[in-house]
Structure 1
Amino acid sequence: MSELQRHLGGSVLRFAGFELDQQRAELRGLDGVAIKLRPKTFEMLRLFASSGGRVLSKQELMEAVWPNVHVGEDSLFQCIRELRTALGDERRQLIKLASGGGYLLATEVVAAPEVTAQAEATRPDSAGRSELPAEVAAAPQRAMFGLSRQALVAAVAGLCVIVVGLAVAAPVLKPDLLFRRTPPRLAVMPIVDASNDPRGAVMAAEVTGRLTDGFAKIQNISVVAPRLAAAAGGDSSAAPGTSSDFELRGELQHSDQSWTLRARIIKAGTGEVQSVVAASVSADEADAPLAQSRLAAGVGHVLARRLNEILEPSASSSASRKSSTGGDRVAVEQALASINQTTRERFGAAQAMLQKALTDDPDNVDLAVALASLQMRGIQMVWFSPEEAVTVEARANATLEQALRAKPNSIPVLEAHCRFLSATNHFVESLVTCAKALSFDPWNGSALYLIGLGQIYLGRFDDALATFRQADRYDTPPASRWTWLLGAGMANVLMGRDEEALPWLQRSIAITPGTGRSHFLLAAAYRRTSRFEEARAAIAEGLRLRPGTTRLNVWPPMKNASPVCIAAWERVVQAEVDAGLPEQ
């Protein structure tokens, strides 16, 4: 071990205004508040901080963070993204990609002064007495914390006045202003293997781990790892729930066609079931980690949203709280389906339905947010005239600002705001908002798609492709699948990887064939791989879906786009023209 490594072997490492407490497995900011990290992400940061500024190869990082486990680079990229978000490193000045591959922490790291000796000296003895150093024990008893007896009496009296004042003020102050509430605790119990398959125990254990890691990312809950149940021989019913507010329990089953995971959230105190969900993957899936990821995401996505509904209730009036029942829920679900499965006809029908529901219940926050989110899709698809788009954008902005004040941690509100920022080309802001949405639902493919889209416009094509691939590994919600497939195809086309782009674009069009823009991108990829007939056919289909498209208006909005992005789109548009897109 080098002298530098010994020097950095202390419990607390400091860098760039952060503290990395290795003993407590905690990252703290300038304000001393802990910043939540997954265990794998924390371990990667610890490696960076103790490496002495050395470049760590991708292979070295994967072997250290995931020992004896085969993982793809997507897992590595996910940790890197989480670290950059936690460190506020959007410009990638702290965690840097080194030439030739690998990463490094590009800042000075120092070990905090050790205080363990004094702490050990003041540890109570077996009789409960503190063992103070001799010079402290011999000090006059009239001094404490460097204060005289008189000063200490005055300080205690002042403290009493403050406490009495807070007691008087408590009825009119929010509780969070006086006391920080403990976040609700979720116990993720070991998934029960009911598969009668030799692979079932491993599959169940891996899915349990992925669910635990995922829920540990959620900002407003605390996760209890299933150690008690594991110690009880894997019988999840043996683990008491008294230390948690909610429990996640599930069973894994196997058939000739599929693996199926059924899971539920239970209120620990009453045993009341809060939400039930099932997810399945093909039994023929050869990629076991992919199957595990999709099973965990399939149930985790739904349960995370249900927890969010429970923990972030509407601040609206009681008259408008009916948004989650009856016809209003149908209207919201119809809107979401039309956002994800895009056709102009479905868009128009959903917009009319939501507008009618809002006429009946004008104070309903959820309906207003759903309408704003739907209309942002309409702006992105150029289904409003320029004049209409300006009016719609202003109305949506006002709606979302009001909704954010009422429900700042609501997943649907954050998603809608993220979509608004993306549709109006505020890409840096959209990355921040989408990341917050992911902090309440780590399996949110819609948020991942919008993050990837922002990365594309900022010229970060490799990052975007990794984000879209992560969304594809989760595959939730399935209704949004075409978006990240299109995004992966787009990223590949913009990087000139046309052969790799084709299957992504083809899969996206097979799910949602009515967008038009997907066909133009497909035409560019066909043209640059010398498949001229296919390229012309793709242009013809795109023009059928979006008549009047020319070189001048096929471009997506380029406001705030990076020069790298604009140059790449110029090459793509030229390929579309070469394939038959009209110049004017």
Structure 2
Amino acid sequence: MSRTASEIEPKSAETITFGGFVFLTKSKQLRTVEGKAVDLRSQSAEVLSVLAARPGEIVSKDALMQAVWADTFVTDDSLTQCIADIRRALGDDEHVIVQTLPKRGYRLNADPLDTVDPNAAAGTERARSRFSRRGFILVAIVLVAAAIGAYYGAQMWPSATVRSTDMSRIAVLPFEEFSTGADKGYLSDAVAEGIITELARSKTYAVIARNSSFRYRGQPIDVRQIGDELGVDYLLEGSQQKIGDRLKVTAQLLNAHDGSHVWANTYNREIGDLFVVQEEIIRTLADRVGRRIERPLPKSDAAQVSALHYHLMGIVEIRKDFSATGNELLRQLNLKAIEADPDSQFGYIGLAWFYRNDAIFGWHEQEHNRDEALKRAAEYADKAILLAPDDAEAHQIRASIHTEAGEFEQALARYDQAIALNPSNSDILVHSTDPLLYVGRTDEAIERIELAMGIDPFHADWFHWQMGWALWEKNDCGAALTAMRKMSRIPIGAHRMLAGIHACLGNEQEAKEALAVFLQNSPGQSISQERREWEKIWIAPGSLNRWIEHMRIAGLPE
């Protein structure tokens, strides 16, 4: 990374106005044009300061990283998180004020002449007047664009979550496990994950994604540090203990700004009341933060909890080992979930994922071909939706199956529904880029992945896999390889993408080695099979032919 003085030195203006806000360049404070302070994390304020120094100009990622983190090693995710934080504070859901220029950087769309003396009332009035005029023009442009988009059917998906500046931000930490013996680990993260999902669904809060909040598992709780790193106002922490047929859950809500206790409670119930306990915690939390969730208590029993237990075990296995072996464990554990409670959605969701993975990676071709596997996946997903129409993951897996079947309109609708049901689930957000990449809307996919990384700063490794695919689509294979190498461990299933990227770069030996790893689980794959499986859905111009050529370089047999 490098920078020049012209890239990072601030302009002489003491204030910069944009989108109804004023940024004081010396104190690095963000205010409304009326003078009300707007909360912004310190690192986010630093990033905004660099952008405000060059209003209307493109500032490269390297320049931003070097200016803010010159003496600290961080990944691009830190910058992405700060950009998301700035947009949240500005209410810039359409990325109009802070604009992303793919492969080039970011631009703050502010008028450099729009500077005022912070002590001059007349200046503030001028800024307000200018904003009103720009706001009217912007609204007009948006309305015209929306009309054109509706006419041609080019509708954009909604953003993952709408975060107004007065919306509380909450992180739910993993609950400590105090169970012992055979009961230890029985509940996994069911309590905490359930609370995250329900809070996000209410749209009353902005809830940080589980991948980020669960990063602090087993670490000493420094409330203010975690609050600053995640950019949240509240932390919910707790513990769980299963003793035979009884469940004890404690939870406490902490103010992330000063570490003070807001609320605490203990629940001691029969194990079958797990979901009722979750809902009571959520209701009390909502009341303490200043909102109420009006929804009837869910039904819960021991069989349903057992089904969830087996389903979560299967998810852990496939996340730990994304391979044919991990996929088979996913199947076995979700069959146990159905056996435990055939009227719960959990086991059916898991089996739908199993057959979807089977279809894409050809892990059990001797038993099922791609079409048969997708058909079975769809049957299980539809069953899950029938049993639990408000389960975001049920709609997510159905959307993924629609995508792999080339049913892109249905996939769009299902992903919209899944995101609406759980706006904090960054996994759903990244999965929703599959149809975009298949049809060639690559820049939109990259922005969506970056958005997911922003709301989930400690996201899962496979987000980099998806970014690798997106950058391969742009023929930016050097950046694609960098993205893949950000994974802590590249799973077997990802080695096919890795082989394609190496082939794109002319690294023939590395491409062959990567493909050999992939073929350990998928020995029957061939060029003709790849073409047959993808030609109906991978319709981005030229992408499939380019992929086939790269597979030939990697040594895939005809």
TM-score, with structure 1 as normaliser: 0.49
The equivalent of 1:223 in structure 2 is 234
Query: Once the 2 structures are TM-superposed, how far is the Cα of residue 574 of structure 1 from its aligned partner?
Result: 0.2
The equivalent of 1:551 in structure 2 is 527
CA contact (8 A) 2:471 2:477 kept: yes
TM-score, with structure 2 as normaliser: 0.51
Query: Once the 2 structures are TM-superposed, how far is the Cα of residue 460 of structure 1 from its aligned partner?
Result: 3.0
The equivalent of 2:546 in structure 1 is 571
The one-letter code matched in structure 2 to 1:550 is: S
The one-letter code matched in structure 2 to 1:344 is: A
**Alignment of 1:212 onto 2:192:** no
Structure 1 residues 578 and 399 mapped into 2: Cα distance closer, same or farther (>3 Å)?
same
The equivalent of 1:580 in structure 2 is 555
CA contact (8 A) 1:498 1:526 kept: no
Q: Which of 525, 547, 551 matches 2:502?
A: 525
Q: Which of 434, 443, 449 matches 1:460?
A: 443
The equivalent of 1:123 in structure 2 is none
The one-letter code matched in structure 1 to 2:314 is: Q
The equivalent of 2:92 in structure 1 is 87
CA contact (8 A) 1:267 1:273 kept: no
Structure 1 residues 507 and 546 mapped into 2: Cα distance closer, same or farther (>3 Å)?
farther
**Fraction of identical pairs, as percent:** 15
Q: Which moved more, 1:353-362 or 1:570-579?
A: 353-362
Provide, for residues 239-288 of structure 1, a one-character-per-residue CA deviation record: whole Å limited to 9, x for no partner.
xxxxx834789xxxxxxxxxxxxxxx9986447599xxxxxxxxxxxxxx
The equivalent of 1:245 in structure 2 is 253
The one-letter code matched in structure 1 to 2:530 is: V
Query: Once the 2 structures are TM-superposed, how far is the Cα of residue 396 of structure 1 from its aligned partner?
Result: 1.3
Contiguous gaps of at least 5 residues in structure 2: 1-9, 24-29, 122-165, 174-218, 237-251, 269-276, 284-292
CA contact (8 A) 1:40 1:65 kept: yes
Query: Once the 2 structures are TM-superposed, how far is the Cα of residue 386 of structure 1 from its aligned partner?
Result: 0.8
Written as runs of structure 1 = structure 2, the 5 A alignment for 1:354-503 is 354-382=334-362, 385-393=370-378, 395-397=380-382, 399-400=384-385, 403=388, 405=390, 416=397, 426=408, 440=424, 446=427, 450=431, 456-457=437-438, 458-460=441-443, 463=446, 467=450, 481=461, 483-484=462-463, 486-487=465-466, 489-491=468-470, 493-494=472-473, 496=475
CA distance in 2, matches of 1:354, 1:224: 32
The one-letter code matched in structure 2 to 1:554 is: E
Structure 1 residues 330 and 310 mapped into 2: Cα distance closer, same or farther (>3 Å)?
farther
Structure 1 residues 369 and 549 mapped into 2: Cα distance closer, same or farther (>3 Å)?
closer
**Alignment of 1:103 onto 2:106:** yes
CA contact (8 A) 2:429 2:449 kept: no
The equivalent of 1:75 in structure 2 is 78
Give the secondary structure class of the aligned counterpart of 1:549: coil
CA contact (8 A) 1:331 1:354 kept: yes
CA distance in 1, matches of 2:463, 2:172: 32
Query: Once the 2 structures are TM-superposed, how far is the Cα of residue 349 of structure 1 from its aligned partner?
Result: 4.7
Provide, for residues 426-468 of structure 1, a one-character-per-residue CA deviation record: whole Å limited to 9, x for no partner.
5766886787799546xx6x45753675665432399379859
Structure 1 residues 316 and 99 mapped into 2: Cα distance closer, same or farther (>3 Å)?
closer
CA contact (8 A) 1:77 1:466 kept: no
Provide, for residues 349-391 of structure 1, a one-character-per-residue CA deviation record: whole Å limited to 9, x for no partner.
5335424532542332444444444444344435654144235
Give the secondary structure class of the aligned counterpart of 1:8: strand
CA contact (8 A) 2:99 2:107 kept: yes
CA contact (8 A) 1:527 1:579 kept: no
Query: Once the 2 structures are TM-superposed, how far is the Cα of residue 577 of structure 1 from its aligned partner?
Result: 1.6
Structure 1 residues 61 and 576 mapped into 2: Cα distance closer, same or farther (>3 Å)?
closer
Give the secondary structure class of the aligned counterpart of 1:96: strand
CA distance in 2, matches of 1:94, 1:560: 35
Written as runs of structure 1 = structure 2, the 5 A alignment for 1:184-223 is 211-213=226-228, 215-216=230-231, 222-223=233-234
The equivalent of 1:344 in structure 2 is 324
Written as runs of structure 1 = structure 2, the 5 A alignment for 1:94-243 is 95-97=98-100, 101-106=104-109, 211-213=226-228, 215-216=230-231, 222-223=233-234
Give the secondary structure class of the aligned counterpart of 1:582: coil
CA contact (8 A) 2:512 2:555 kept: yes
CA distance in 2, matches of 1:308, 1:520: 42
CA contact (8 A) 2:331 2:351 kept: yes
Structure 1 residues 554 and 39 mapped into 2: Cα distance closer, same or farther (>3 Å)?
farther
CA distance in 2, matches of 1:210, 1:6: 30
Number of equivalenced pairs: 404
Q: Which of 8, 22, 34 matches 2:17?
A: 8
Contiguous gaps of at least 5 residues in structure 1: 28-36, 118-180, 189-203, 226-243, 250-264, 275-305
Query: Once the 2 structures are TM-superposed, how far is the Cα of residue 575 of structure 1 from its aligned partner?
Result: 2.2
CA distance in 2, matches of 1:365, 1:266: 39
Please tell me the root mean square deviation across aligned C-alpha atoms, in Å: 6.1
The equivalent of 2:32 in structure 1 is 21
The one-letter code matched in structure 1 to 2:522 is: R
**Alignment of 1:311 onto 2:282:** yes
Structure 1 residues 537 and 4 mapped into 2: Cα distance closer, same or farther (>3 Å)?
closer
CA distance in 1, matches of 2:357, 2:256: 34
The higher-RCO structure (CA 8 Å, 6+ apart) is 2
Provide, for residues 458-485 of structure 1, a one-character-per-residue CA deviation record: whole Å limited to 9, x for no partner.
32399379859969x96665xxx4x345
Structure 1 residues 455 and 212 mapped into 2: Cα distance closer, same or farther (>3 Å)?
farther
Give the secondary structure class of the aligned counterpart of 2:337: helix
CA distance in 2, matches of 1:68, 1:503: 21
Provide, for residues 521-568 of structure 1, a one-character-per-residue CA deviation record: whole Å limited to 9, x for no partner.
426625853544x555555554553244232432574777673xx534
CA distance in 1, matches of 2:98, 2:346: 39
CA contact (8 A) 1:245 1:268 kept: yes
CA distance in 2, matches of 1:267, 1:59: 40
CA contact (8 A) 2:419 2:428 kept: yes
Query: Once the 2 structures are TM-superposed, how far is the Cα of residue 70 of structure 1 from its aligned partner?
Result: 6.7
Please tell me whether Structure 1 or Structure 2 has the larger radius of gyration of its CA atoms: 1
Query: Once the 2 structures are TM-superposed, how far is the Cα of residue 519 of structure 1 from its aligned partner?
Result: 4.0
